[in-house]
Amino acid sequence: MASEKIQTVTDNSFEQTIKSATPTLVDFWAEWCMPCKRIGPTVDALATEYAGKLTVAKMNVDENPEVPMRLGIRGLPTLMVFKDGSLVDQVVGAVDKETLKKMVDRHI
C-alpha cells in the first residue's frame, strides 16, 4: 500500500525523525479518514519523486495521540513540513499534488 520510501513514525520516534537538515513531510492520518485515503497515493508518489531530497513519514493519530495533540492538529489529513526540528509549513485536507509539491519545493 504505502511506498517503502515512507517511514512510519510514532509518538516515541517523532522528534528523532524531524531533527534533520533534510526537510521532512509528515502525513498525520487515521484509518477511518476518507480524505486521508484519497491523498495517500499522492504522498506515496512524492516520496518516490523526492527521494534523497525529502523524508516522507506517516503518523497514525489514533495510535499516537501525543504528538498530534501537542501540535494542535484538529483536522485530517494534516501534512506538515519540518526542517531541523522546526515546523516550516503545513496544509490541512486532501489537497492536490501540485499544492503539496509547491509546499515542499519552498523548503528544498
The set of catalytic residues is 33, 36
Tally of residues, the chain: 108
Pairing of the two strands 55-60 and 24-29: parallel
Q: How far is CA 107 from the centre of its chain?
A: 14
Q: What are the angstrom distances between the C-alpha of 77 and each of 52, 53, 55, 68, 94?
A: 24, 22, 18, 11, 7
